[in-house]
Amino acid sequence: PLRDDQSAARTGGWGASLLQAERVQEWVWVHVMFLLVMDAVEDPFRALDAELDRYALGRTANFILVDVHGEATSEKQSVGHYCDGRVSAVLGSHSHVPTADGWVLPGGTAYQTDVGMCGDYDNVIGMEKEIAGQRFGRTMPGERLGPAEGEGTLCGAVVETDDRTGLARSIRPIRLGGRLTSAT
């Protein structure tokens, strides 16, 4: 299974994977976790450098996606700029709420701070809203959070790339079904 690159060696799985798809000859998915509000993980920039030395855009892969699992927008933005021109896309995850900042960075990397979750949005980041709301007024944890069970929304992004370079031409959001305004 794909895990964050920094802990994959000790927890099993891979932090990056070379995949083959019908419309994209070879693509790489690199998953990194960031430090703020997360358990201790190794330096994500060092992990990125190691994977990007191993998989080079245009040489080893036609498309490289960096999935940034982090809490702070600033952490995710720093990865976007750090990887600009070396990967096709940097897409954030973890905060559950899709952001409206998808753009192609100056070096040709598509970027979005968070593509959002796939699930019910009539809740608090995927959990039952009544229980989550009760927890915010306490210093001690309350009842265990349960998952929301309403109609789900599929969230993500579509990145169009240049066939020759693997760099992004455009990025657009996808939101299908559920309660959020659709985007296709």
Higher pLDDT pick, 163 / 2: 163
Q: Which residue has the higher pLDDT, 19 or 153?
A: 153
pLDDT at 10: 54
CA 150 to chain centre: 23
Q: Which residue did the predictor score with more confidence, 86 or 118?
A: 86
The CATH code of the domain at 8-115 is 3.60.21.10
pTM as predicted: 0.85
Residue 114 and residue 98 in contact, taking contact as beta carbons nearer than 8 Å: yes
Residue 4 pLDDT exceeds 60: no
Q: How many CA atoms lie within 13 A of 184 on its CB side?
A: 4
- Give the pairing of strands 27-33 and 16-19: antiparallel
24-33, 79-88, 102-111: least confident range: 24-33
pLDDT value for 136: 72
Among candidate residues 32, 22, 98, the one with its CA nearest the CA of residue 63: 22
Most confident option among 3-7, 17-21, 46-50: 46-50
